[in-house]
Every structure is written in C-alpha cells, then in structure tokens.
C-alpha cells in the first residue's frame, strides 16, 4: 500500500534545507507521497509572508511535495499552539495520512513524546510551578521552561528553547489532545490534573535532524541557510546570495515574480550574477517588489489602532495583561515597524507576541471573532498539487474528510453552500488576504476573491 506523509510548514521561501528535510523524511518513513499544510498570507511569527502563498505552494510542488493545502488564518497566524492544532487537525482528518514528519534539533522521538504528553495533560504541580514563575513578571515561554526544568529535568526543558523542537513538541501535544478528544469525547477537558492514556492519533512520527545553521543563520560552504537569513538577504537587496540558498525551481519562480514587478532586472541577470545587488530602499519608494516586508504593516496598523482607540483595543485577540496599552503608547512614538516592536517588547512580552498583536490589531481581530472561528469546522483551501496530489484529494474525499472535520475547497464561490458552515473562519482568511493584497499592490485593484489552485 502506498504510504503518505504529512508535513506542517510555511515555506517562506522553500529553500535547500527544506529539500534536504523532504528527502530525509521520505527516506525515514518510506513514504512515496507527501501532503503539506502551509500557512497562507500571514505566518505564525505574526508577519506577512515575504512571498505570496500560491508562489510558495507551487515551489513546494515543483520540489517534490504532491499536495499543498492552506492552513486558515485563524490557525496559521495566531501563535504556535493554534498553528500546530490547525495543521494536525487537517492532516488527521484527511483520512489518508499514515504519519507526520518534522524537523528537530533533538531528533529523538521518545523524550519529545514524554514532554508533549506532560504539557498536553498538565499535572497540578507543573501548573502551579508555571503560575509561580509567571508571578515573577517573566514571559510565559520562560516560565514554562523553568517549571519544566524543575519538574522534568534540564534535558526536557532545553527542548523548549530550540525553535524546531518547540514546534515539534507542540505537534505531538496536539496529537495527544486530539486523540483524547476523539476517544473520550465529553469525558476529557484539558485542564491541569487531567491525565489521558494512549498513543498519538497518527502512529508514525518521524523527527528529521536539522542540518546546517539555525533559522536566521547561513553557511556558505554547505550552501544552507535558514529562512530568516534568506529573507534578510532579499530585504538587503543581495539577490545573488539569496538565490544561492534556493533550489533551482524555487529560484526560477521568485525570479519571474521579481521581474514581473521590476522589468529592468532581467531573469538572465538574476540567474547568472551571483553577486547581484539592488537598492531595495529606492525601489520600494517607486514600485512594487514582488515580495512583502514586515514594515509594510506599519501604516495600516496605525490607521487601525487610531480607529479602534485605546479602550476598545483590549478586545483584540492577543491583547491581555495590559500589553495593548504598551502597544498604544509605542505607536504614538514609533517612526517605523522595527522601532514599534522594540518599544513595546519587554521582560514579560516577547517580540513574537508583539508582532502577532500588531497584526491582529491591523485586522481588528477580536477575541469574539476567534472564538467563533476556532469553534467552526476547518475549511482548508487547496493551493497547489500534481497528478499524485489529485489522487490524494480524491482519496481524502472518499475517506470522508468533511465528516472528519475538514472541508477541502478550491473555489469559494462554487463551494459557497458547503463552506457556509464556517462563516467566521472563512471571513478571517478573506480579510487577511485583502490586507496582504493591499500591502503588495497599494490597493485592492486586481484582488481575486477565489483564484484556482496551481496544477503542476
């Protein structure tokens, strides 16, 4: 029987490290087919994706992934827990996924599963310890790290400070929680002291050891760089260096997109000049770039915050503990996005939390909006696929993906009736897409409500 592997990702952009991971994941699992659940216009770190989602999805399929579906905005850009939950829910509901694979610094499944189960079904003592640490005025990740070190040991705690391990633990945690939900229904509520037995829903789990530098590092000799480092090269206009870390299929797609927006930069020039540099600051003042940078959020954020006002901003999804007041004060002083984040972050509030709050404020995303969206059935847009991906889609529909909790769709208009069960979830994704398009083009001219997926 053909084995199918699931991956949860962002691919911003798809680089050589991703290609290595995909090859290793297939080797370890013996899988012949792969499905990726990918964030859309905005990513988990609370920023706009540098490259639009259809370009990213197509690059994944051209590099060996068979099917790419979009994680709805309500899950994809609202924090690691929702990101993991959305991805795992989609993969579990498809009915055709045999297992999942993820990158990891630790790359040792059993210790990760032990920690994930402890976090999924928090003991009373661990919960009390986290509360005690939070009372010291530190961030939740720091409080959890200290509490886990005291309860489970330093090795377990250290997995919570490594970027790939953090998400890996979250994936496993969500697997345990969904398994408990499925098997115990109303008997389980996820509160401290509740313990659930059993193994994760997707039995086959593969951890691929990370190769090369971290997310923001680069190694020219290995020709590996993290996605953050590659995005930094693009922001600085060091196109030649950026392309050297991308597989040819990814580089070609991005080169065509840049040329579309900047016709004076030839595709031949981008392919052949390895030290090619351009003045990004000058070009950003005169025309689009074919890519979006985080500081593009600053102006729409300021307009949104002023229209909401300081009192009503407490209703924004990620607003809590007075962080919305710090954000309002910072917005009155900051001259740009980078300065805003710097002014608002603190010992208690991490940069990632502030970035997400800025995004959610810009979109006027309220706690009530999110409560409705997260209680609706997940609707996952199909972004790109090949012939094998088409077979997977057919099998998923025959396996009853919709009955399992996930509706796969290609066209919002054609499947309007089917998608009417999740109005809040769909509306949030559409709202995010419109903001992204406006940031890229300056207005909504040319915005497509429901583009067709890319077939490779």
Alpha carbon separation from 102 to 225, 310, 414 (Å, rounded): 18, 40, 34
pLDDT value, residue 414: 84
**Is residue 216 within 8 Å of residue 198, measured between CB atoms?**
no
Indicate whether 163 belongs to any domain: yes
Instruction: Write out the residue range of the structural domain in which residue 198 sits.
Output: 109-209
- Confidence category of residue 321, pLDDT binned at 50, 70, 90: confident
Indicate whether 204 belongs to any domain: yes
**Given a cut of 60, is residue 92 above it in pLDDT?**
yes
Q: Which of 254, 271, 288 is the last residue of a domain?
A: 288
Both 340 and 251 in one domain: the answer is: no
- Whether the pTM exceeds 0.75: the reply is yes
DSSP track, 402-421:
HHHTEEEES-TTTTHHHHTT
Both 193 and 223 in one domain: the answer is: no
* Helices 298-308, 337-344: crossing angle, 10 deg rounding: 60
Q: Which long-range contacts (CB under 8 A, 24 or more apart) does 226-235 make?
A: 226/17, 227/10, 227/12, 227/13, 227/15, 227/17, 230/13, 230/15, 231/12, 231/13, 231/50, 234/50, 234/291, 235/280, 235/293
Both 114 and 163 in one domain: the answer is: yes
pLDDT value, residue 20: 95
Residues 6 or more apart from 436 whose CB is under 8 A from it?
41, 42, 48, 49, 52, 292
Both 263 and 319 in one domain: the answer is: no
pLDDT average, residue stretch 148-171: 94
Cα separation, 27 vs 250, whole angstroms: 22
**Given a cut of 60, is residue 197 above it in pLDDT?**
no
Could you say which DSSP state residue 34 is in? E
Both 175 and 259 in one domain: the answer is: no
Both 204 and 261 in one domain: the answer is: no
Greater confidence, 289 or 114? 114
Both 173 and 262 in one domain: the answer is: no
Indicate whether 255 belongs to any domain: yes
Q: Which of 305, 339, 370 is the last residue of a domain?
A: 370
Structure tokens at 21: 């991971």
> Which residues lie across from 380 on neighbouring strands?
408
pLDDT value, residue 183: 64
What b/e readout covers 219-233, taking b as 16+ CB neighbours within 10 angstroms? Answer: eeeeebbbbbbbbeb
Both 269 and 331 in one domain: the answer is: no
Closest CA to 38 of 68, 17, 63, 74: 68
Indicate whether 33 belongs to any domain: no
pLDDT average, residue stretch 193-214: 66
Indicate whether 40 belongs to any domain: no
Residues for the chain: how many in total?
456
pLDDT value, residue 332: 93
Indicate whether 222 belongs to any domain: yes
- Confidence category of residue 191, pLDDT binned at 50, 70, 90: very low
Torsion angles phi and psi, residue 161, rounded to 5:
-120, 5
Both 264 and 312 in one domain: the answer is: no
**Is residue 86 within 8 Å of residue 379, measured between CB atoms?**
no
Indicate whether 424 belongs to any domain: no
pLDDT average, residue stretch 322-334: 93
Both 125 and 203 in one domain: the answer is: yes
Indicate whether 68 belongs to any domain: no
**Given a cut of 60, is residue 239 above it in pLDDT?**
yes
Q: Which of 288, 310, 334 is the last residue of a domain?
A: 288
Both 117 and 203 in one domain: the answer is: yes
**Is residue 343 within 8 Å of residue 357, measured between CB atoms?**
no
pLDDT value, residue 202: 67
Least confident window among 236-250, 287-301, 414-428: 287-301
How many domains is the chain partitioned into structurally? 3
Residues 338-352 pLDDT 10s: 999 999 998 889 999
Residues 211-221 pLDDT 10s: 877 667 777 66
Structure tokens at 360: 């959610």
**Is residue 428 within 8 Å of residue 381, measured between CB atoms?**
no
Least confident window among 140-144, 229-233, 309-313, 383-387: 309-313
pLDDT value, residue 360: 97
């Amino acid at each position: 029987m053909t084995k199918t592997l699931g991956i949860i990702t962002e691919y911003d952009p798809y680089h050589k490290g991703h290609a290595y991971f995909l090859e290793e994941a297939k080797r370890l699992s013996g899988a012949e087919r792969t499905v990726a659940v990918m964030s859309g216009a905005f990513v988990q770190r609370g920023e706009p994706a540098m490259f639009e989602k259809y370009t990213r999805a197509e690059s994944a399929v051209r590099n060996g992934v068979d099917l790419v579906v979009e994680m709805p905005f309500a899950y994809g850009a609202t924090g690691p827990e929702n990101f993991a939950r959305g991805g795992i829910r989609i993969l579990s509901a498809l009915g055709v996924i045999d297992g999942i694979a993820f990158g990891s610094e630790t790359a040792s499944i059993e210790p990760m599963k032990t920690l994930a189960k402890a976090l999924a079904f928090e003991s009373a003592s661990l919960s009390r310890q986290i509360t005690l640490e939070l009372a010291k005025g530190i961030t939740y990740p720091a409080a959890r790290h200290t509490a886990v070190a005291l309860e489970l040991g330093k090795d377990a705690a250290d997995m919570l400070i490594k970027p790939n391990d953090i998400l890996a633990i979250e994936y496993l945690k969500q697997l345990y929680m969904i398994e408990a939900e499925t098997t115990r229904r109303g008997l389980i509520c996820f509160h401290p002291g509740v313990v659930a037995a059993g193994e994760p829903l997707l039995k086959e789990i593969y951890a691929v050891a990370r190769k090369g530098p971290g997310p923001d590092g680069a190694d020219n000799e290995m020709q590996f760089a993290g996605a953050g480092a590659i995005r930094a090269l693009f922001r600085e206009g060091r196109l030649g260096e950026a392309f050297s870390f991308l597989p040819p299929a990814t580089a070609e797609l991005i080169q065509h997109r840049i040329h579309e927006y900047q016709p004076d930069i030839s595709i031949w020039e981008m392919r052949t000049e390895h030290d090619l540099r351009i003045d990004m600051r000058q070009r950003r003042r005169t025309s689009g770039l074919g890519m979006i940078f985080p500081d593009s959020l600053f102006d729409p954020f300021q307009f949104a915050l002023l229209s909401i006002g300081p009192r009503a901003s407490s209703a924004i999804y990620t607003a809590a503990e007075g962080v919305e007041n710090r954000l309002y004060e910072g917005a009155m002083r900051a001259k740009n996005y980078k300065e805003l984040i710097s002014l608002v972050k603190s010992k208690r509030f991490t940069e990632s939390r502030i970035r997400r709050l800025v995004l959610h404020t810009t979109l006027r995303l309220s706690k009530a909006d999110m409560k409705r969206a997260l209680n609706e059935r997940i609707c996952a847009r199909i972004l790109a696929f090949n012939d094998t991906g088409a077979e997977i889609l057919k099998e998923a529909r025959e396996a009853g993906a919709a009955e399992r909790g996930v509706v796969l769709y290609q066209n919002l208009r054609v499947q309007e009736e089917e998608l009417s069960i999740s109005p809040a979830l769909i509306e949030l994704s559409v709202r995010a897409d419109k903001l992204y398009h406006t940031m890229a083009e300056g207005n909504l001219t040319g915005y497509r409500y429901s583009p067709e997926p890319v077939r490779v």
